[in-house]
Copies of this chain bind each other. A is one copy, B any other.
Amino acid sequence: MTITSDLNRAITDLRAQVCELHAHLTQYELVIWTAGNVSARVPGRDLMVIKPSGADYATMTADDMVVCDLHGNLVDGELNPSSDTAAHAYVYRHMPEVGGVVHTHSTYATAWAARGEPIPCVLTMIADEFGGDIPVGPFALIGDDSIGRGIVEVLRESRSPAVLMRNHGPFTIGRTARDAVKAAVMVEDVARTVHIARQLGVPPQLDAADVAALFERYQNVYGQSGPHAETSEEIHR
């Protein structure tokens, strides 16, 4: 019973976190209407919390967030889970280090995805956050494991927390849902900046050694105390 009430409390907290994190998607204009979704793994459980399908950003509440198992079956909640639930679930099943997943159709990242072209590592900010080029994943139809499989195949082989799914849009992962949201914000920002740079020329790639040094430093030194994700939490209020 103690376990159950602890679990309930953890899920209640995650519902609030996941609901609130969607505000970054609208703030940075990564989503329109009801498109886009954030999920979080329930730590130590084969469960995830995710946005319901077709939910309106302006009015959805923490209680609307639904709980699913890691095959995408509804476990708790009154609404249908996001139509992208199978993809999120597949990632959690196959990447145990991942605690959060985000999907958007943000404009510039989706434009690179439409052409099937990786975003080249031409900015220190890309080296910092993505550790190299931001990779492209395969085209996949919604409705089975194809999207999830494509995400995992690409991200397992990459330092990048973001993958540009062909003709579709970006998926991002993180140790926490907040980290995955940060990656979603940053992939759009660098997708836009590099697009604009490329319109009038070809910016030079960074050297691999510089990329490695920048990535290492950013992941370990930036912020308030060691691994960045914990850090930025510390100065939230």
Whether the pair B236, A59 counts as a contact (CB closer than 8 A) is yes
Residues of B within 8 A of A167 (CB): 122-124, 203-204, 206
In Å, the complex CA distance between A105 and B33 comes to 19
Classify chain A: how many residues form its interface, as a range: 35 or more
Q: Of A5-13, A90-98, A188-196, which binds chain B?
A: A188-196
Q: Residues of B contacting A168 with CB < 8 Å?
A: 123-125
Residue-by-residue, is A209-225 near B (CB-CB < 8 Å gives 1, otherwise 0)? 01001100100011111
Q: Which residues of B lie under 8 Å from residue A182 when comparing CB positions?
A: 33
A115 within 8 Å of B (CB atoms): yes
Report yes or no: B195 in contact with A83, Cβ–Cβ below 8 A: no
Tell whether A193 pairs with B55 under 8 Å between CB atoms, given A142-B214, A168-B124: no
A112 to chain B: closest residue by CB:
B197
A193 to B214, CA, bound (A): 31
Inter-chain CA distance A52–B59, complex, in Å, is 28
The stretch from A39-47, A68-76, A154-162, A227-235 touching chain B is: A227-235
A16 at the interface (CB under 8 A from B): no
Choose among B53, B112, B192, B202 the residue that contacts A223 (Cβ–Cβ < 8 A). Answer: B53
Per a CB cutoff under 8 Å, which of B115, B217, B235 touches A203? Answer: B115
Given contacts A64-B235, A124-B168, 18 further A-B pairs with CB under 8 A are: A28-B32, A33-B185, A52-B235, A55-B235, A56-B232, A79-B235, A83-B222, A105-B123, A105-B193, A111-B193, A111-B199, A111-B200, A114-B197, A123-B167, A124-B169, A141-B214, A195-B199, A195-B200
